[in-house]
Chain A
Amino acid sequence: MELHINGKTYSVQSEGDTPLLWVIRDELGLTGTKYGCGIAQCGACSVLVDGEVMRSCVTPVEGVKGRNITTIEGVEEDPIGQRVVAAWVEHQVPQCGYCQSGQVMAATSLLKQTPQPSEAQIAASMTNLCRCGTYNAISAAVQDLAGGGPSAAAEKARMQAATAANGRGMRS
């Protein structure tokens, strides 16, 4: 079976019913995509298939052959993905980081379909779970990308102040 992942073509041996997640991680060694719950509830395993977010733990690999798969390893090849990663860095979103590759994929998918989502649309689409509770930072980063809202601006100001403070601290 041939899979198109991050612009490359891979020939895989896994059986058709194997979840895409395990083909990506175990057979191809692309371990940026994480295993969380295995039942499509948390989103840690999110990847893009033809630009749309899918939860790879519940996606039989047979169903995605011939389609364009993007994982966290390849997300910066995509201009929107690149902006999302930059915003994540700017807002210092991750804490432990385990869920964040999935969060980045979900945000990239959302912005590809809807370049300027409203706050409600962001809340409805960003359904991935985060045990550290980085939801406010995620929301601010996505709103920033969507053209900014009051909370994005406030978060940005807070981050800039913090960075500036850190910078001063480090120089002294």
Chain B
Amino acid sequence: MSKRRYRKILAIVGAALAVVIAATTWFVNRKPGSPFDGVSASTSPSKALIERGRYVARLADCVACHSTPHGKPFAGGLEMSTPLGSIYTTNITPDKATGIGGYSLADFARALRHGVAGDGHRLYPAMPFPSYAKLDDADVRALYAYFMHAVRPQRQPDRKSDIAWPMNMRWPLALWSAVFTDGGTYQRNAAPAGVDATLWNRGAYIVQGPGHCGSCHTPRGAVMNEKAYDGSSRQYLAGALLDGWYAPSLRGDVNIGLGRWSQADIVRFLREGRNAHAVVYGSMTDAYNNSTQFMSDADLKAIAVYLKSLPGNPKQDGPPWQYQDTPNPALGSGAHPQAAGARLYLAKCGFCHGRDGRGQGTWIPPLAGSVASMSRHDASAINITLNGSTHIVAQGVPDGYRMPAFRHQLSDRDVAEVLSFIRTSWGNRGGSVKPQDVKKLRQRTNPASSDVIILQMR
């Protein structure tokens, strides 16, 4: 190759590279447009608008992440883990200096839907903006009115993330957003045949948008992206392992999903925190305590209609569970089983969950046929046994029946034995549990350990 030709190629490549760099720089630093650009929000919004905003904030469960257990509502500070280090949720009270008091409606909408803060920096997708992108304009306007006029401002500076340079640069997140979010507000779709289209669409809107159910229930890809954001994919809400819990499938899977639940069961679960199939536990307790119990009956019905329209995947789910007394010995009156797992079950579990594993009404959940007993993932079964459940607070009243923590009573082997018994009895097919898996999760859920799980993206 001649020297001249070489120079020419270099010049062309160089120019192209410069263009790409310039375009990327522009792209990652630009503020996406908002339908609210140049629109000024009312300085004295109606009470009705504020109340609607309060309700949207419940649907979206903003308070769960933007508060700490003993902090002020919406003042932020909750630690969340990322593969690179911890980040802390931000102050979203209308304080001018440390919160979002200086945000215009357009700034607010950009943060909510596109993950771009008021000063232009990109938010980590721990903020579920790929879901919130689906919020319609009216809800965004109402939410803004609520935050600006009904949330008490708190002066609390945001805490810097623990991520070190250069990984703490935010601009690459713009590329993440471009690749993994499909953007755009929720668009009305044709409902499946025989289903009330208005209800179904309302349900889809809440589940995919403000409710951001997929943040926990949809499996995530290699870079923490949710594998789907709507029902067009079978991965959507198909169940996922997160924060040491297995979030069940919300699809029609009979064993690990909602296949055996009626619409009324779903409504009752979200409104009361319990039904004859299950009681909320793990991360769902926060979602129930702060969010789902405040949803209107009409919206709960809509959610149930939508979720029941998502088909299961029998290939992955296996044949439907059926109650069986075998192969494990029936634990009827007077039974004195020899196996350690069965003996432990009678001493530690049977008084509440029943010798037959069927639980007690809607108060204490069955272990026979439950997702934690049927799923091949044993994280939820181990976690709830070691750490128990937190209080379910319905309409301000803490519930009287709570799973105790057994971490100080049962050894890794004990837990493995009793869970292996439960997960292979009464027709359950979850399979046995290994002591080393119990050991691992025990360590990772011990607040004093250096390796404790911090909740991830919600």
Hey, which bits of chain A sit against chain B, CB under 8 A?
17-19, 39-41, 51-52, 54-55, 58-60, 62-63, 113-114, 117, 120-121, 124-125, 127
Contacts and interface: CB of A to CB of B under 8 A. Distances in A.
B336 A19 contact: no
B22 interface: no
A125 B343 CA distance: 9
A44 B176 CA distance: 58
B361 interface: yes
A55 B360 contact: no
29 contacts: A17-B363, A17-B400, A39-B404, A40-B404, A41-B348, A41-B409, A51-B333, A54-B351, A55-B352, A58-B360, A58-B364, A59-B360, A60-B360, A60-B361, A60-B401, A62-B361, A63-B361, A63-B363, A113-B333, A114-B336, A120-B336, A121-B336, A124-B336, A124-B343, A124-B346, A124-B347, A125-B346, A127-B346, A127-B347
Interface in B339-397: 343, 346-348, 351-352, 360-361, 363-364
A51 B333 CA distance: 9
A49 to B, nearest CB: 11
B334 interface: yes
A41 B402 CA distance: 12
Nearest to A40: B351
Contacts of B404: 39-41
Interface in B397-430: 400-402, 404, 409
A67 B334 CA distance: 19
Contacts of B346: 124-125, 127
B336 A117 contact: yes
Interface of A is mostly: mixed
Contacts of A18: 400
Given A63-B360, A124-B343, A39 B402 contact: yes
Contacts, number: 48
Contact of B333 (A52, A58, A121): A52
Contact of B334 (A41, A55, A114): A114
Contacts of B347: 124, 127
Nearest to B404: A39
A76 to B, nearest CB: 22
A58 B336 contact: no
A45 to B, nearest CB: 10
Nearest to B409: A41
B351 A58 contact: yes
Those 9 A-B pairs whose CB atoms lie nearest each other, nearest first: A113-B334, A127-B347, A39-B404, A55-B351, A40-B351, A121-B336, A60-B363, A58-B352, A113-B333
Contacts of A124: 336, 343, 346-347
Given A58-B360, A62-B361, 18 more contacts: A18-B400, A19-B400, A39-B404, A40-B351, A40-B352, A40-B404, A41-B348, A41-B409, A55-B352, A60-B364, A63-B360, A63-B361, A114-B336, A120-B336, A121-B336, A125-B336, A125-B346, A127-B347
A132 to B, nearest CB: 20
Nearest to A54: B351
Contacts of B364: 58, 60
Interface string B258-273: 0000000000000000
Contacts of A54: 351
Contacts of A125: 336, 346
Contacts of B336: 114, 117, 120-121, 124-125
Contacts of A19: 400-401
A39 B336 CA distance: 23
Contacts of A59: 360
B124 to A, nearest CB: 38
Contacts of B334: 113-114
Contacts of A63: 360-361, 363
A145 to B, nearest CB: 16
A70 to B, nearest CB: 15
Nearest to B349: A40
Nearest to A62: B361
B340 to A, nearest CB: 10
Nearest to A117: B336
Given A113-B333, A113-B334, A121-B336, A58 B361 contact: no
B401 A58 contact: yes
B417 to A, nearest CB: 14
A58 B346 CA distance: 15
B210 to A, nearest CB: 31
Nearest to A126: B347
A88 B401 CA distance: 32
Residue from A58, A60, A121 whose CB has the most chain B CB atoms within 10 Å: A58
A54 B401 CA distance: 15
Nearest to A46: B351
Which of B334, B361, B364, B404 is the most central at the interface, judged by chain A CB atoms within 10 Å of its CB?
B334
